[in-house]
Chain A
Amino acid sequence: MRIHNLKVSVSGVRGVVGDTLSPNLIANFAAAFGEYVGKGRIIVGRDTRPTGEMYENAVVAGLLSVGCQPILIGIVPTPTVQILVESNKAKGGICITASHNPEEWNALKFIGASGIFLNLREAAELLNIYNQPDRVYVEESEIRKARVIENAFDIQKKKIFNQIDIDVIRKSKIKVAVDCCNGAGAPYSKDFLEYLGCEVYPVFDKIDGRFERKPEPIPENLTELSRVVKEKGCAIGFAQDPDADRIVVMDSSGNAIGEQLSVVLATEHLLSKTPGPVVVNIQTTKSIDAVAERYNSKLYHTPVGEINVTSKMLEVGAVIGGEGGSGGVIWPALHPCRDSFTGMALILEMMASRNKSLEDILDTIPKYYSAGEKIPCSAGKAVEVIRLLSAKYADASPNLIDGLRLDWDDSWMLLRASNTEPIIRIFAEALTQKKANELVEKFVKELNDIE
């Protein structure tokens, strides 16, 4: 059976190069986006994928055809595009990146005038324009000239450095290894950390977009980083994904402590200085609850997806937030977007200002063990399962904003149906591995018992 690898959806357009993701599709989508946001400046950035330049050309052609002015900022992290949209007062931004997908994929991510991703409603409107049979192309006299901005990352860097205590980090001279996955973080991470006085050991910092490890920064893909951390005696290791919006932390013994703890560490640090609302997505570790409680701060959960978290953060005036399950740290003081550089700066500032090791800090945060399973399940059955279980476990404060989350004092469980496959995912956390496994087993059984 032919596998259809093109996804045109509210999260943008994503597909496999050489198969479904044609230059025409990309030019057409870019033109539709230009029509949607209106004639004006559009920031265009991309990650290091070898196919980025080809799609960049198509995006520029599409934007020009509808009277927009593309501002090209080259190979940059996704957050840089978002920040530049805001600082340039642009109409919007397009980021050419397939994020953590393998090399053969590429995609467009769409950013609105406020510098955050299009929300569900906006994305649906864009899709509606894209699906119209005709584009509203402009006459030749209305075609603008594309512009290039060199050193766009400097704007982001300055913004971060203006808001952290550089001197205290510099004094600590922290030894750091950073794994850029040969992605969009590669041209910038070493300089960024060196400016903070770190002794830096880069891993996979080429910009050819050939990923020498699997692009998701999950522990099993970070063996090279682990080796370097141990060999060089680093105090901490960082791993980015190919578009450098996610960050994962590794301790000095070379253990990746998981995607969940990046936002927890950043939250611990910021709340200890200024308590305030925290927003995370529903698949974020329960460790964050303890941290929020410690600083008398209110914790909000949102559906999964950066735009859901940032929207809620803006609504409640959050001081920090993010996406536990994907290493996303969002610091609205900088910009409402996931940014690996912000994550690195905040965690280093915490280590330096407390003069403590990463391990010492982690010891003060309750550690949860996780387990997961996926079960074949039709979309219809998934709805039924969630309805039944939310009633059955009414005493476990069921949260239904995105799947079903159940919370107990020292554990929690999330059931979510996949958007792309007929499966349902069970994820659980508890204070011991055994308990986490038991929780998953219990719900697998519950699921199987429901006809």
Chain B
Amino acid sequence: MGSFRLGIAGMRGEIPSLTPELAINFASALGTYLEGETVVVGRDTRISSPMLYRSVISALMSCGCDVIDAGIISAPEIHYLVPELKAKGGLLISAGHHPMGWNALIPIMENGANFVKVKLQEVLDIYNSKRFLMANWDEIGKIKIPPKNVQEGYLDMLCSKLDVKAIASKNFMVIADFCNGSGTSIGVKFANRLGLNLLSLNGANSGQLPHDPEPRPRAALQTHSVLKPLKGDIGFVFNSDMSRTSIVTSSGETLSEEYTFPLVLEHILQKSNKKIKVVTNWCTTKSLDDIVKKYDAKIYKTIVGESSIIDKMNEVSADIAGDGSGSVAFSNHILGYDNLLVMGLILEAMTTQQCSSEELAASIPRYHIIKKAIKCPSSHGYNAIKELKNVFTDAEVIEEDGFLFKWKGGWVHLRSSMTEPIIRMIAEFKSKEKAEDVSTQIRGLLDRYI
């Protein structure tokens, strides 16, 4: 089974399919595209990250790019850093939600956002041509260190979007699971700014994943087990680079990561008195549509992937964007998912609404969601899904991104993953039974097709 992907989400793969050679070629293509200008390079804590980091630094220097060595850094920080340091681009080595053994090279544009499709296509064309810029010996790039105060600058920016004083007055007891990833350092500092009583779990920079890094409910076991005995106000489970979050409430309920975005959105809509524009993808919970309807906001939908979401947010001048993986981005902020701000806003919601996290969770519409990753070779995925069109003839079908089958009581979304050799299925229905029935039926059908 293939464990390597090159496309809109950058270069991703399982070690050792993702080799130094491929990383060098990818970074050389980026350095060539950026014409030898300055690039910010950062990485997460995964065990293979230093190897890939060394590879891309060497490649970028060879293209003549000066490299700003940001070291271990979370995803939101590098989205902040690239425009802040006036670099021409960035490259983040970070496996995010991928399981142990995986890694990814994520190229970042001058404005701090992930590469959009058309521009990444140019990089990939260079990658395929293998004709890379090679600077002469006296013009190769140099390694530079970012200024010391950049992390503080980012924290200032985060705090400027929040009522820090009010949050701090609450002295919240917060459990945060950083998944031994790159978010620990910034997360702890941010918690200090917010005056939190923070218990951080899995806060080592070891890259040894304590659990599945996708912040699904099953990843929240540790947070869940300490939250009630410690009388925690709320628990946050982050992926390994702070781009996805799920929440454990004070009652000990682990919320699906689908509800992270609706919770933040509800708070933003309550705070604002203008007509808010919201961007999400085709397979995010209906809870979100319900909230948008309730506040008479406007919703735009696009295909799955951070770069499409951010691109759409820019295109329609939306105020907020996010998806069902527990990721949220904000306008007039960094151009990428920022789950530090997610944490801040949820705490602010609890503060201003004078409610517990349990009550906050109860205030949004809930559905029954089943998410499944069905192993499937990339080559088979598309056709297998297409076959289902002939089965669900009673559903409304939206083919913007994979296949979305809609019925009155719920929907099913099927999509071949851009980052892994799997079909992602999301089924959401009002009733638990219906959700389980439909997802079981689909699994059975897909097993037959694959």
B8-34 CB contacts (< 8 Å) to partner A: 14-16, 19-21, 23-25, 28
Partner among B15, B23, B24, B138 whose Cβ is within 8 Å of the Cβ of A103: B138
Distance (whole angstroms) from the CB of A451 to the closest CB of chain B: 44
Convert A122-151 into 0s and 1s, putting 1 for each residue whose CB lies closer than 8 angstroms to a CB of B: 000000000000010111110101100000
In the assembled complex, the Cα of A335 lies from the Cα of B25 at a distance in Å of: 40
B128-153 CB contacts (< 8 Å) to partner A: 132, 134-141, 143
Query: Is the CB–CB distance between B21 and A28 below 8 Å?
Result: yes
* Residue total for B at the interface (Cβ-Cβ under 8 A): 36
Query: Is the CB–CB distance between B46 and A18 below 8 Å?
Result: no
List A contacts of B137 (CB < 8 A). Answer: 16-18, 49-51, 103-104, 106
In the assembled complex, the Cα of A143 lies from the Cα of B14 at a distance in Å of: 13
Query: Is the CB–CB distance between B16 and A65 below 8 Å?
Result: yes
Convert B47-65 into 0s and 1s, putting 1 for each residue whose CB lies closer than 8 angstroms to a CB of A: 1101110110111011000
Distance (whole angstroms) from the CB of B93 to the closest CB of chain A: 11
A23-41 CB contacts (< 8 Å) to partner B: 23-24, 26-28, 31
Tell me whether A282 is interfacial, beta carbon within 8 Å: no
A197-255 CB contacts (< 8 Å) to partner B: none
Q: Which residue, of A106, A137, A145, has the highest number of chain B Cβ atoms within 10 A?
A: A137
Tell me whether B100 is interfacial, beta carbon within 8 Å: yes
Distance (whole angstroms) from the CB of B3 to the closest CB of chain A: 11
Tell me whether B101 is interfacial, beta carbon within 8 Å: yes
Convert B78-117 into 0s and 1s, putting 1 for each residue whose CB lies closer than 8 angstroms to a CB of A: 0000000000000000000000110100000000000000
**Interface residue range, chain A:** 35 or more
Tell me whether A62 is interfacial, beta carbon within 8 Å: yes
Q: Decide yes or no: A146 and B50 within 8 Å by CB, A17-B136, A61-B55, A104-B137 being known contacts.
A: yes
Distance (whole angstroms) from the CB of B257 to the closest CB of chain A: 25
Tell me whether A9 is interfacial, beta carbon within 8 Å: no
Distance (whole angstroms) from the CB of B420 to the closest CB of chain A: 16
Query: Is the CB–CB distance between B54 and A50 below 8 Å?
Result: no
Distance (whole angstroms) from the CB of B31 to the closest CB of chain A: 10
Partner among B15, B16, B58, B136 whose Cβ is within 8 Å of the Cβ of A23: B58
Query: Is the CB–CB distance between B61 and A53 below 8 Å?
Result: yes
Query: Is the CB–CB distance between B136 and A24 below 8 Å?
Result: no
In the assembled complex, the Cα of A88 lies from the Cα of B24 at a distance in Å of: 30
In the assembled complex, the Cα of A141 lies from the Cα of B50 at a distance in Å of: 13
Tell me whether A8 is interfacial, beta carbon within 8 Å: no
List A contacts of B21 (CB < 8 A). Answer: 24, 27-28, 135
In the assembled complex, the Cα of A320 lies from the Cα of B316 at a distance in Å of: 79
Q: Decide yes or no: A57 and B134 within 8 Å by CB, A18-B140, A137-B19 being known contacts.
A: no
- For the A-B complex, the count of residue pairs with Cβ-Cβ distances under 8 Å equals 115
Distance (whole angstroms) from the CB of B154 to the closest CB of chain A: 27
- Give the residue name and chain of the B residue nearest to A138 (CB): B16
- Give the residue name and chain of the B residue nearest to A102 (CB): B137
- Give the residue name and chain of the A residue nearest to B20 (CB): A61
Tell me whether A58 is interfacial, beta carbon within 8 Å: yes
Distance (whole angstroms) from the CB of A67 to the closest CB of chain B: 10
Q: Decide yes or no: A58 and B50 within 8 Å by CB, A22-B62, A139-B15, A139-B101 being known contacts.
A: no
Distance (whole angstroms) from the CB of B163 to the closest CB of chain A: 43
Query: Is the CB–CB distance between A17 and B140 below 8 Å?
Result: yes
Tell me whether A446 is interfacial, beta carbon within 8 Å: no
Tell me whether A19 is interfacial, beta carbon within 8 Å: yes
List B contacts of A24 (CB < 8 A). Answer: 21, 24-25, 28, 59
In the assembled complex, the Cα of A27 lies from the Cα of B21 at a distance in Å of: 7
In the assembled complex, the Cα of A84 lies from the Cα of B84 at a distance in Å of: 43
List A contacts of B58 (CB < 8 A). Answer: 23, 26-27, 54-55, 57-58, 61
Query: Is the CB–CB distance between B16 and A137 below 8 Å?
Result: yes
In the assembled complex, the Cα of A64 lies from the Cα of B52 at a distance in Å of: 9
Distance (whole angstroms) from the CB of A385 to the closest CB of chain B: 38
Tell me whether A60 is interfacial, beta carbon within 8 Å: yes
Query: Is the CB–CB distance between B101 and A141 below 8 Å?
Result: yes
Query: Is the CB–CB distance between B54 and A57 below 8 Å?
Result: yes
List B contacts of A19 (CB < 8 A). Answer: 134
List A contacts of B140 (CB < 8 A). Answer: 17-18, 50-51, 54
Q: What are 19 A-B contacts with C-beta separation under 8 Å?
A: A17-B134, A17-B136, A22-B24, A23-B28, A23-B62, A26-B58, A27-B58, A49-B137, A50-B140, A60-B54, A61-B24, A64-B54, A65-B16, A65-B19, A103-B138, A104-B137, A135-B19, A138-B15, A141-B101
Known A139-B101, A140-B46; further 11 A-B contacts with Cβ < 8 A: A17-B134, A17-B137, A18-B134, A18-B140, A24-B28, A27-B24, A27-B58, A60-B51, A106-B137, A141-B47, A143-B51
9 tightest A-B CB contacts, nearest first:
A137-B16, A57-B58, A17-B137, A58-B58, A64-B51, A61-B54, A23-B58, A140-B15, A61-B55
Interface residues of A (CB under 8 A from B): 16-19, 22-24, 26-28, 31, 49-51, 53-55, 57-58, 60-62, 64-65, 103-104, 106, 135, 137-141, 143, 145-146
